[in-house]
Structure 1
């Protein structure tokens, strides 16, 4: 019976998966057996009923069944089949049977008052070891998905210490034989408390499940409740999608990316825009990964909605500081979005129906317990709403819409080898009748092969591909045309992780191939007379090696030290124009052309990128942290607009354009109160940026073969203070964050054309010194939850004419300085009410209704302020508001 209790524990993990069908009492044996293996007989019964058997296959080796049975109960048959063997059986419930070895174990152990599922047996009691410590190993998994749990805590009460699991869900402890109380926990999953009897070396597996009590309110982090204090990384936040779903959303569409703007240090230039600004960085300085595949445009409908399906997304993590050495290539932040793996045990689906779009997700096993799939799709019906219900004359002929499709496959090839493959495609289109059209599409794919070399050594090989294409059409001409551009990349990366008692060492390397399409113009109609124009494509390669070690020196000090060495080259075929002087000036200074053949190196860049993070614990609830990182960014988004638009051009560093280099210094104080119910933190940062890209006044960026003459590079500086107070428990919870920040730049060139604001520091277009966010949730009853967001920020800068001059009878504004004014301050209140209609313990599906109002008091927040030149008068200022009214919505969500 040594393994009986362990097997009953395994049964417990399967209880939620059995189907309603033929029970044990319904099974009748009516067959003649001639020396058939018992394992085969039990498999036949499982295939024809809802009964499941749990046993160690080694116990049933060579056990055979013979005899003729007519309408025999399963109990009677098992009595016969286990006679004269070491086997015994136990009916766990109406559907599950445990086979175990006969033993008097229960009489030798103090198990009074314990259930079978409360006990873990490690080692063999008939050959117990004494006097020396033995290795107790195990695997902790998510019971719903069978995925290994990274960072699960295994705590032994008698030792007042424990360990955490690695990326394979594995852990190891050295324990003397004896009787222990063990607690296993992980974020958002139900803690398991077990009685563990250790007789000798051995291992076990334990599955954790979602909490049986519904989580109340909104939480920011999906990690351990004290990770903000005890974790070494600072400026890092993980959001659970289930919590994001509770936040008020524009027209009811859950937006994972926009939810990040509620965090301190993260902002956007305005409503209806794509991209993030993190601690003084531009939108192109954020590396956004979907299962390791980079994403160049994260929005649908110009930033109103995120491309990530909430039903297929597991969590999202943002690194604002202390970025580990295995991540890089962008100067401001890394955002990792992880798709769910489908259930390997049962089929299921969920989705939602909203005002502008509907979504659906399906998941299930490919081979039960071994492999799974998940697929999710969304489709908007904005055009149908406008054509059918909102018949506004000004909108006739306008079109807008999007769709996306994502999926993931997960294979456990062996106990050590795993394979995961993900894919995503999307398309957006927007048309203003008889004026213009805009289309863009994303295509992403990734595959990751993981291998467990040993208890403490893991390896992984990943391949990822990303392709982003966009087109702008001019429909006003008799012969309309379109301008298209795009960027694609292929990533190959190898990683190794080694765990020891005090170290978590990561090392590896990889390479990325970029392909840039700077622009192409062609006619839209088949008989178009437009002369096609295509700028040459550009190619480059970025490679890197890295090592990163997280060291727990003692209970007080922890260090994470890393070093990344990156190398970059741009290569042909390409033509490079040569200009008089050290840097490109006007096109008129062009003197020569250099020709490079295929794969010939045009320019090399490289650099060391050190990373360092420190944590000093003042006590169990208080810590000080500091970090430094240097990052090289070799690709750039060339733009003269405040937000990502069709006119933007992605390009790599080249003969003239040098890589951006950012150094960030951060220090923070972290304090928790009342058993981690309250979290508080204060972080200060300073960022120094070299080779920041900007454009000259009056620059022409579209289809310009000599684009280098329109660009300048200079310095950037950002600094700020971030304050956070968060409540994680109880009916009322949420957070308040305040950020004071400045983002400045200095562009001083060799002549007046390449100098901005006379070479003085000036604010960037997204510089917003004050930013306040209040986000909370209150569970009124078991059914009703109220949540709200309030945001306030300083208006961003814009350019104001200092004076004017007459030209052809019109007073034209004279802009002598850039970003010398500010638009009005921004503030907005959102509310949401969620009704849970699925409180029954036994239910066929779960469902809820969410009623939300975006911009409750209808604030006409200015997106921009611009000036129009008029005759015989000063230039007149106009304010553009994207959303100047309250937007109510209703969404129905379901889950089978």
Structure 2
């Protein structure tokens, strides 16, 4: 195959080449009417010469040749006579170009490097010979070529594969999308690709210039007892620069013990230090003492306002469709904002571009199916997944009538379409929908749904500049129903939002990268609408006006590697938030919201700014390598939150209302810092970590005692503004592979608040203050297919406010006397789970593969308290009652089916 070139040559290299190529005549070529290009091809085919030219430079004309024992120079001069073309030679390589360019300015060393790569094939090349990458004309004046591409298996990107150029120090690893970049001088190389489970594979390549080289790996036969596929580089524990980030190992999800056999992303997050929950029946999770609504839950660009189905028992995320799950604990990059405590960045994967695949799972109360494949092979693909529950038969087996009269149901679905646009662009469109229904003993119930649509376009402008833009729209609606005769009511609320987020990334060098962008979030909030339920209901209808807010953010980040030991990631996010009309706003004397302090009202038209807040949020992470196996990592982040959930219970329910920041209800603001030491042992198989963190919340709010927050048009009168703090120590250890492996994590922490008017202005525990949290997971892999897993969880009981006595007033009414806020605790939480997994077959010829997981949730049937409520006994003393959502062992068996 001829390579099209366009080169400028030095006179010096011409003279060097001519002297080097004076050789004895040996060429015979006689033809009275031969085309010039055909003659060149004959020379290239029948002689040791290698000739390179551009077809468009040669006129389509025939010439007469009679070459007898001619030298290469004589042959080329005869063929090119009258064309205006000349040539330059290096050893037995001849490159043809316009005669006027021969002798113009050109780097002799550069040409020598280019020409040397055209030498004979190295020993050991396969029958196909080396694969050519790029062309001479794409090579820059520096003489260095950029080779980039994607490493895949069966169309799926491989993350953390190592690519090394044999005989050099050049090496790199693939990123989260399976992409890699290498910069080499033109030449012929042996490229080595290594990844666990694939052995060491090699490719012979000939680099001519900048180009793309995709690599499809094939799994190698292995005698290992266990093969572990990881979602990140093997030394990420010590190598990453970003502070406070945890990446979920999706490959291990199906082996974890789960409730009713359903693979659960959120439950897997709880294995990490600093992440906890108050127990079964609680939606969401808490990060470093933060509240549930202080977590930014992303699915690509879309924001999810509820991370759980069925009151916290199942995750909103379908694990079969995910590419990566990253949890940023307070020290979030500048591209994220709008929440105080954490960001859960969940990225969906594209469908298979090569062939159709099916994956399904059947459990005792849930079922799921995933389908993916090409629409146009190698150009466009789809991936779709559906999950649903069927819990009725389980509830009917219960011994308690109130449980038999209950019902729970959820369904969700995902669809993603991906189109490759040339070699530089990718367009993805996706949709998500879910609905939950729950009724307890025909007394009360919840119903909530999410509809999410989004699009993303990625574009590569050059090997150093690329960008992407995302657009997302979501509508979350919830309904809480009270079915009592006289108290029957329906409470509706919801949030709809639109997000636009363009971003650019520029790689200045291997050591310096800039990125930045814009994010616009537009919110419409229904803060509450109450209606009577049933003809006997005495509830008075009430509805609050819709709220509207706009959050505009500019952000930029820089990643710089000062040396192999020291790297920094610094960023800045600026946010302008505006609370908008039209609406009627109550005004108060001296600006202090309190009942009886009203002075009048003010009208704001649609789109008019009612209140505005600006926030400058610097972000910084730094890593210093200590030797080859350890590192010190520190981070700082300023965060702000303008959308909060309103609730007075121990934990928000799916129907808890949302509240935008207003002129009287300020945003939450905090400073977050961390410092940790991380160590890898046993060739990166053992990971250890210790991290100190602190969060100083210089602006938050809490409710006054006995507050009325449901559909209250003057909610600001129920709120008190104060400050808070959270601090702790996170310890973790993990053994990743081996017959016995697992992890252990322990968090020692405190989360406290100080709000004027509450607890005499002294610090008190927040609702999610859990000083001790311990998790241990143990895996035994006697062979490649069998895994026995045990998971133990322990946590301090959450704080509560409880009655400690009573007093009687003049009319005889008995009034309880309460402790100070959150000064008591419910009993500690602990639970043991077991699971046995019979993995899928490793027979590559088997088209349909199955695996089984048998699990026991809450093995010793502990009645862990979700809350403690108090009743009065016959002697009028207060009696504590434990409410346990799950008080027994739950067995489950799940069948997973997958096609190759």
Which TM-score bucket, shorter chain as reference? Answer: 0.7 to 0.9
| Partner Cα distance (1:117, 1:771) in 2 | 59
* 1:660-809 matches, cutoff 5 A: 660-748=668-756, 755-807=757-809
Match of 2:514 among 502, 505, 518: 505
- Pairwise CA distance, 1:803: 3.3
The superposition leaves residues 839-869 of structure 1 with CA deviations (integer Å, 9 ceiling, x where unpaired) of 4332121101111001111111111122223
If the length of structure 2 is used for normalisation, what is the TM-score?
0.82
CA 1:193–1:227: 2 relative to 1, 3 Å:
farther
Taking the aligned partners of 2:140 and 2:395, their CA distance within structure 1 comes to: 78
Alpha-carbon separation, structure 2, partners of 1:336 and 1:188: 28
Counterpart Cα distance in 1 of 2:159 and 2:505: 13
Deviations 1:766-791 (A, max 9, x none): 11111111112211233321012111
Residue 379 in structure 1 maps to residue 388 in structure 2: yes
What SS is found at the alignment partner of 1:159? coil
Q: Which residue of 2 aligns with 1:23?
A: none
Match of 2:448 in 1: 440
Change (3 A) 1:737 1:227: same
Contact 1:217 1:732 (C-alpha < 8 Å) held by counterparts: no
Matches for 1:565-576 after TM superposition, within 5 Å: 565-576=574-585
Write the distance in 2 (CA, Å) between the matches of 1:594 and 1:211: 73
User: Is the CA contact (8 Å cut-off) linking 2:241 and 2:633 kept in structure 1?
Assistant: yes
CA distance in 2, matches of 1:350, 1:157: 39
Partner of 2:300: 291
Q: CA deviation at 1:835?
A: 1.4
8 Å Cα contact 1:245/1:310 also seen in 2: no
Q: Which of 644, 662, 680 matches 1:654?
A: 662
Q: Contact between 2:148 and 2:212, CA under 8 Å: does it hold in 1?
A: yes
Is the CA contact 1:835–1:850 (under 8 Å) kept in the aligned structure 2?
A: yes
Question: Partner of 1:454: helix, strand, or coil?
Answer: coil
- Distance, in Å, in 1 between the alignment partners of 2:421 and 2:294 is 37
Matches for 1:45-124 after TM superposition, within 5 Å: 108-112=120-124, 114-116=125-127, 119-122=130-133
Match of 2:467 among 435, 455, 459: 459
Q: Which residue of 2 aligns with 1:851?
A: 854
Larger Rg: 2
- Structure 2 match to 1:495: 503
Partner secondary structure for residue 267 of structure 2: helix
Residue 128 of structure 1 and its aligned partner are, at CA, apart by: 14
Judged with a 3 Å threshold, the aligned counterparts in structure 2 of structure 1 residues 274 and 172 are, in CA distance, closer, same or farther, namely: closer
Q: Is 1:838 paired with 2:848?
A: no
Q: Aligned pair in 2 of structure 1 residues 599, 779: CA closer, same or farther (>3 Å)?
A: same
Deviation at 1:240, TM superposition (A): 3.0
Q: CA deviation digits over 1:483-511, x for unaligned, max 9?
A: 11111111001100111221121111121
Name the counterpart of 2:625.
617
Using the alignment, how far apart are the partners of 1:881 and 1:444 within structure 2? 34
- Cα distance change, pair 525–760 in 1 and its aligned pair in 2 (3 A): closer
- Give how far 1:727 is off: 0.7
- Report the Cα distance in structure 1 between the residues aligned to 2:812 and 2:161, rounded to whole angstroms: 74
C-alpha displacement at 1:395, in angstroms? 3.8
| Distance verdict in 2 for CA 1:724–1:213, change over 3 Å | farther
After superposition, give the CA deviation of every residue in 1:780-817 in whole Å (9 maximum; x if it has no partner): 23332101211111111111334321256565421140
1:120/1:188 Cα in 2 relative to 1: closer, same or farther (>3 Å)?
Answer: same
Contact 1:542 1:567 in 2 (8 A): yes
**From 868, 877, 882, the counterpart of 1:879:** 882
Q: CA deviation at 1:143?
A: 3.5
- Which residue of structure 2 lines up, in the alignment, with residue 9 of structure 1? none
- In structure 1, C-alpha distance between the alignment counterparts of 2:359 and 2:337, rounded to whole Å: 35
SS of the equivalent of 2:417 reads strand
**In the superposition, relative to structure 1, how do residues 851 and 525 fare at CA in structure 2: closer, same or farther (>3 Å)?**
same
Distance 1:412 1:672, change over 3 A: same
Matched, 1:638 2:657: no
| Residue matched to 2:144 | 134
Measured after TM superposition, the shift of residue 890 of structure 1 is 0.6
Partners of 1:271 and 1:304 within 8 A in 2: yes
1:827/1:365 Cα in 2 relative to 1: closer, same or farther (>3 Å)?
same
Cα pair 1:493 1:509 within 8 Å, conserved: yes
1:651-709 deviation line (CA, Å, top 9, x unaligned): 11101011111111111111111210111111101110122121111011111111111
Structure 2 CA distance for aligned equivalents of residues 632 and 215 of structure 1: 49
CA change 1:591–1:422 in 2 (3 A) is same
CA RMSD of aligned residues (A): 3.0
Q: After alignment, is 462-471 or 116-125 more displaced?
A: 116-125
Query: In structure 2, what is the Cα distance between the partners aligned to 1:117 and 1:694?
Result: 71
| Residues 824 and 217 (structure 1), Cα distance of their counterparts in 2 relative to 1, 3 Å cut | farther
Matched residue, 1:143:
153
How many residue pairs are counted as aligned between the two chains? Answer: 786
3-state SS in 2 of match to 1:158: coil
User: Residue 605 of structure 2 is aligned with which of 578, 597, 600?
Assistant: 597
How far off its partner does 1:129 sit?
A: 11
Q: Partner of 2:559: helix, strand, or coil?
A: strand
2:894 counterpart SS class: strand
Deviation at 1:321, TM superposition (A): 4.0
